[in-house]
Amino acid sequence: MGDETAEVRPARPERWIPGRAAKYRTVRGTAPVLILFLPPALLLFSIFVVLPIAEAARYSFFSWNGYNSPDNFVGLRNYLFLLRHAAFHTALINNLLVIAVSLVVQLPLALWLATLLADRIRGASIFRLIFFLPYVLAEIAAGLIWRFVYDGDYGLAGSIAGFFGLPAPYLLADPSTSMAAVLGVIVWKFFGFHMMLYIAGIQAIDRSLYDAAEIDGATRFQLFRFITLPLLGPTVRLSIFFAVIGSLQLFDLIMPMTRGGPSDSSQTIVTYLYSYGITRMRIGFGSAVGVTLFVICVVFAFTYRRTLMRHD
């Protein structure tokens, strides 16, 4: 740090990335600030995020229980097992189901409520608060609450069925209903978040558009169909993006309710990774699941951003 008077010198464009207009001029002290400010983030991120992914790729070719070091190279066997494992197929299908329910039930519900609550109608803010509340709760707590709701012996489901003279249902304990029960909770938990996204989107729409349309005598549905919906395009695409990414990392909510069971009927990719990789300490196999999930996430994120969200 030689000269300490830090006089402002003219920019030397050749030092910058070509083609980019330098917004600020260079100053002395560029090097020190980079050396001091960047490495903490860079190190943490590399060590705990990037490196583990690279290591997962390597471990996935080994059969390894985590003790000592990996020495039993098995090639693609972990991946082949994964591709043939019925429980993994169930997990993939369940993830797709979550996405489907998000698109078909949750997002329309959220959008409808958003159109109601974006208006300054009486009580709008209290309704928003209530609908957002499940999103703020931890998934573990929400899962436990719903485990109670669905419980056939002491829960609400049992009492409701009893009221109608029906036998107590055990929705979470039956392989044919467990995933449906989980899907219901997912809508309950997340629709408020999407609703808030839509409200923010609607409120960003230029009011004069509505005024003009109303003067032309447009109905409320027409306002929605021809103004709100098209202008909400970017928000909808973003909300779908979150729904998909959220589905791919679904874990906490499932654990207290079913742990992926019974008989793997409510596994998702991450609960599958937990049941078959982590609790059994099959580092290699679990890493193969992780790498598969990573590829799915990154491919989705890239193609989605490059195609549908390109202009947003």
Task: Select from 264, 291, 282, 245 the least CA-distant residue to 93.
Answer: 264
89 near other proteins, rule: CB under 8 A:
no
CB atoms within 10 A of CB 5: 5
**Which tokens sit at 270?**
């991450």
Residues 244-263 that bind other proteins (CB under 8 A): 245, 248-249, 251-252, 255-256, 258-259, 261-263
308 binds other proteins (CB under 8 A): no
Question: At its nearest, how many Å lie between other proteins and the CB of residue 76?
Answer: 13
Q: Which residue's entry shows tokens 């990335």?
A: 17
Q: In the numeric block, which tokens belong to residue 24?
A: 């600020």
Query: Are 251 and 140 in contact, with CB atoms under 8 Å apart?
Result: no
Between residues 174 and 180, which has the closer beta carbon with respect to other proteins?
174
106 binds other proteins (CB under 8 A): no
Cα separation of the two ends of the chain? 43
- The one-letter amino acid code at 117 reads L
Of the residues 180, 301, 308, 309, which one makes contact with other proteins according to CB under 8 A: 301
Task: By CB under 8 A, tell whether 98 contacts other proteins.
Answer: no
Between 39 and 100, CB nearer to other proteins = 39
Among 159, 166, 222, 229, binds other proteins (CB under 8 A): 159
Q: Is 168 in the site for other proteins (CB under 8 A)?
A: yes
DSSP 158-225: HHHHHHTTPPPP-GGGSTTTHHHHHHHHHHHHHHHHHHHHHHHHHHTS-HHHHHHHHHTT--HHHHII
Is residue 21 a contact point for other proteins (CB under 8 A)?
no
- In angstroms, how far is CA 73 from the centroid of its own chain? 34
**Coil, helix or strand for 151?**
coil
What does the alpha-carbon distance between residue 198 and residue 113 come to, in Å, rounded to a whole number? 9
Tell me if 118 sits within 8 A of 199, measured CB to CB.
Answer: yes
Tell whether residue 47 is a contact of other proteins (CB under 8 A): yes
* Shortest reach from residue 100's CB to other proteins, in Å: 20
Closest approach of other proteins to the CB of residue 243, in Å: 11
Q: Can residue 298 be called a binding residue for other proteins (CB under 8 A)?
A: yes
CA distance 180 to 170: 12
Q: Is residue 307 near other proteins by the rule CB under 8 A? A: no
Residue from 10, 36, 310, 311 in contact with other proteins (CB under 8 A): 36
Q: Is 71 in the site for other proteins (CB under 8 A)?
A: no
Q: Does 310 bind other proteins (CB under 8 A)?
A: no
Among 19, 68, 310, 311, binds other proteins (CB under 8 A): 68
- What's the min distance (Å) between Cβ of 73 and other proteins? 14
Choice between 183 and 197, CB closer to other proteins: 197
Measured distance CA(220)–CA(118) in Å, rounded: 14
Under rule CB under 8 A, which residues in 184-243 are in contact with other proteins? 188, 192-193, 196-197, 199-200, 203, 207, 210-211, 214, 220, 223, 238, 242
